[in-house]
Amino acid sequence: MPATTDPTSEINTGLIYWRGPMGLPEFNRIDDHDFVAAFASALPAHLEEINAIAGNPNAPTFENTITALERAGEMYDRVSKVFWNLSGANTSDTLQVLERQLSPELSRHHSAIMMNTALFARIDVLYQERDNLELDGEAARVLELTWKSFLRSGAQLNADDQKRLMEINERLASLGTAFAQNVLADESDYALVLEFDNDLAGLPDFLVSSMAVAAEERGHVGKHSVTLSRSIIEPFLTFSTRRDLREEVFRAWVARGEGPGDTDNRPIVAEMVHLRAEKAVLLGYQSFAHFKLDNTMAKTPEAVRGLLDTVWDKARRRAVEEAEDLEALIAAEGHNHAVAPWDWRYYAEKQRVARFDLNEAELKPYLQLEKMIEAAFDTANRLFGISFRQHKGVAAYHPDVSVFDVLDVDGARIAVFLADYFARPSKRSGAWMSSFQDQHRLAGADANESQIPIVVNVMNFAKAAAGAPVLITMDDARTLFHEFGHALHGMLSDVTYPSISGTAVSRDFVELPSQLYEHWLTVTDVLHRFAVHHRTGEPIPAELLVKLRAAEKFNKGFANVEFTASALVDMAFHVLDPAAAANIDPAAFQAEILAGLDMPTEIVMRHATPHFAHVFAGDGYSAGYYSYMWSGVLDADAFGSFTEAGDPFDRATAQRLKESIYSSGGSMDPEEAYVAFRGKLPTLEALLEKEGLA
């Protein structure tokens, strides 16, 4: 509950005082229009708190400056968390209009705080005297990160440069919002409606069922729809024998954000790239990539490029070999066409069946969504001693969302977990973890109470017909474990200060807990217990597991080319100086970079620039898409610790993992945190081995 704010009667207090079950907001009391008044009150109230800290007549201390800053803005934080979670997972026309209005306003608000000269002066005094303050390790880390954050936000710039930086930030915020909304519009508007039986040729029953549900949701009862949700379009591209339909939906999929009209993101990208380059120079950096990487494990674009180039060379060679194999398969079937991008998944699946006697349709009956959720929960229990208890009567922000208590070994609630798994037009694509509330120990009027985290996983799986089990692919199951790994990073957080809670770590370290957690999905015992046939309940046969493991490194050239091409294009955009970035044509620039890489024509980037939401729908992964690979180096080595212990659930290893990685948040430097767990830093070889590229 806010300590310093007394909201007026015009505000829906349900946004501020969360009195729902389990400490959740009372979502049924919240209307989309309520946010206008809530933000109108929360922003000035937050600035009032900030100005009180900056204008404190007493000499700066850690308590009256840093701790006070950590506690400030609770009303603003609560309103913001509800707003942004709804905007991503259950948006509306009202929320989208408000998002466009708020983005620049919230950017101005952030700049006003980070460029507050009096506030930074107090922080700077403490930072310069940090060695004499007798701070514990966590407090010292918070002071260092706070000082650097203000510096990177323009606190030491002159007034004119601060004004320009503020203008740039506002414009970037607006552009990022427009980019995301354009992609969502293209995804939501598209559906290929299929009316005839031969349109479904080659499709397995589980996909036909999901497409029928998708069509019905869009008003086409009795028909089938291919949507741009990965859980529908990727299986369609894998199984459909209709090459014409595969091409049609593939072209729509890769063209998101680049069609003519209001949703064309190419002008947005051009402006963003130029503004980011200008921002970096204002702050004293050679390029935006240098700026973004300065506080990461990688440190420099050169280090990132070295990693990406090494993987690219090996992945490309492997992908060329894979393409030759697919061409031979096409010729053997009597066709004379080359491997087009919309052919790859279809013929790769045929190749996998021929080579390993394994196909997705054979595997999928054993991958029930509910059982995979159980597997993720059980793995967390065996590793970290936590358990999950569902509350079916608790309403969340959408009827599809399930609510769980997260309990420690003694049965005490340590977190609340929201699970939102199904695709809908009001939800942006992809999968992510977010939070409504972060863990810390500065809650309450006396700043000595613990606040538990409220974490949410959001995905876009296709629904099954009423009464039928939801069957997912192995890739979907990996996504579920991946995002649950992020969720654990938030739920197991055990720190004092909000700014370093949970996933508040460097971008190229944040993917370690998620990618590492994926390893437990394929542990034999986990699959044997939870990969059970949806009709018979029989566990996945041993011979199918053998085939699954034999095929683990199949098609890895394709997968790594898809990813690495995207990461290289991201980096290429963001190493440009302002002159080179001026008036850039994003499509031509992307094509130039890919040509320089000798990109295989049979494969496209995993995320083409006009719908590359990681990079352009905000600032999160800009100049940072590489971080999945950087964390991949870490996770491949980290799981080796369990292998060396001889048990994927070794207690001592799991305890070190929890303390050093999942619970420590940003309280340690990432390298120090990793070494505390593993005893050493990793090398690239572990990743290359895992990806079959060694």
Q: What are phi and psi of 415, to 5 degrees?
A: -165, 165
Q: Could you give the C-alpha distances from 477 to 113, 156, 374, 431, 469, in angstroms and in order?
A: 42, 47, 11, 12, 15
Chain center to CA of 677: 24
User: Half-sphere exposure of 405 toward its Cβ, with a 13 Å CA cutoff?
Assistant: 13
Q: Is 255 exposed, middle or buried (0-12, 13-18, 19+ CB in 10 A)?
A: middle
pLDDT of residue 444: 73
Write out the H or E segment, with its range, that includes residue 403.
Answer: strand 402-407
Per the prediction, the chain carries an average pLDDT of 95
Q: Is the model's pLDDT at 1 over the cut of 50? A: no
Q: What letter represents residue 595's amino acid?
A: A
The mean per-residue pLDDT over the stretch 131-160 comes to 97
Contact 101, 31 (CB under 8 A): no
631 Cβ contact list (under 8 Å, min separation 6): 508, 509, 510, 511, 512, 514, 515
Tell me if residue 483 is catalytic.
yes
- Of the pLDDT bands very low, low, confident and very high (cuts 50, 70, 90), residue 10 is confident
Instruction: Tell me the two tokens of residue 327.
Output: 């061409």
Is residue 694 helix, strand or coil? coil
Distance CA 403, CA 627 (A): 31
pTM for the predicted model, two decimal places: 0.94
Q: Is 156 exposed, middle or buried (0-12, 13-18, 19+ CB in 10 A)?
A: middle
What would the pLDDT profile of 173-228 be if each residue is shown by its tens digit?
Answer: 999 999 999 999 999 999 999 999 999 999 999 999 999 999 999 999 999 999 99
User: Half-sphere exposure of 527 toward its Cβ, with a 13 Å CA cutoff?
Assistant: 23
What would the pLDDT profile of 262-311 be if each residue is shown by its tens digit?
Answer: 999 999 999 999 999 999 999 999 999 999 999 999 999 999 999 999 99
Contact 150, 110 (CB under 8 A): no
Break the chain down into helix, strand, coil percent, rounded to 5. 60, 5, 35
What would the pLDDT profile of 636-691 be if each residue is shown by its tens digit?
Answer: 999 999 999 999 999 999 999 999 999 999 999 999 999 999 999 999 998 999 99
Question: How much of the chain exceeds pLDDT 90, in percent?
Answer: 94
pLDDT of residue 8: 47
- Of the pLDDT bands very low, low, confident and very high (cuts 50, 70, 90), residue 443 is confident
pLDDT of residue 454: 98
Distance CA 124, CA 383 (A): 42
Domains in the chain: ranges and CATH: 13-156 (1.20.1050.40), 190-254 (no CATH), 365-550 (1.10.1370.40)
Contact 431, 482 (CB under 8 A): yes
558 Cβ contact list (under 8 Å, min separation 6): 319, 322, 344, 348, 603
Instruction: Tell me the two tokens of residue 268.
Output: 């947005």
Distance CA 185, CA 486 (A): 27
Sign (positive or negative) of CA dihedral 50, 53, 55, 60? negative
Name residue 461's beta-bridge partners.
422
pLDDT of residue 447: 63
Q: What letter represents residue 531's amino acid?
A: A
Q: What is the 3-state secondary structure (H, E, C) of 411-477?
A: CCEEEEEEEEEECCCCCCCCCEEEEEECCEEEECCCCCEEECCEEEEEEEECCCCCCCCCECCHHHH
Q: Is the model's pLDDT at 571 over the cut of 50? A: yes
Q: Which one from 483, 518, 602, 691 is the annotated catalytic residue?
A: 483
Which residue in 150, 270, 234 sits closest to 589, CA to CA? Answer: 270
Separation of first and last alpha carbons in the chain:
54
Distance CA 212, CA 220 (A): 8
pLDDT of residue 2: 38
Is residue 532 helix, strand or coil? strand
Q: Could you give the C-alpha distances from 212 to 238, 245, 295, 299, 464, in angstroms and in order?
A: 18, 17, 48, 49, 9
Instruction: Tell me the two tokens of residue 317.
Output: 């060679």
Q: Is the model's pLDDT at 448 over the cut of 80? A: no
Name residue 224's beta-bridge partners.
194
Contact 235, 346 (CB under 8 A): no
Contact 185, 263 (CB under 8 A): yes
Residue reference for tokens 């991201």: 570
Q: Is the model's pLDDT at 9 over the cut of 70? A: no
pLDDT of residue 545: 94
Q: Is 63 exposed, middle or buried (0-12, 13-18, 19+ CB in 10 A)?
A: exposed
Distance CA 247, CA 245 (A): 5
- Of the pLDDT bands very low, low, confident and very high (cuts 50, 70, 90), residue 495 is very high
Distance CA 251, CA 237 (A): 11
Name residue 435's beta-bridge partners.
455
Q: Could you give the C-alpha distances from 418 to 85, 458, 498, in angstroms and in order?
A: 11, 9, 20
Q: Please state which of the ranges 252-256, 442-446, 485-489, 544-548 shows the lowest mean pLDDT.
A: 442-446
Distance CA 570, CA 612 (A): 9
Ramachandran region, residue 598 (left: φ > 0; alpha: ψ -120 to 50; beta: rest) = left
Q: Angle at the Cα of 427 (from 425 to 430), degrees rounded to 5?
A: 115
Length of the chain equals: 694
Q: What letter represents residue 606's amino acid?
A: R
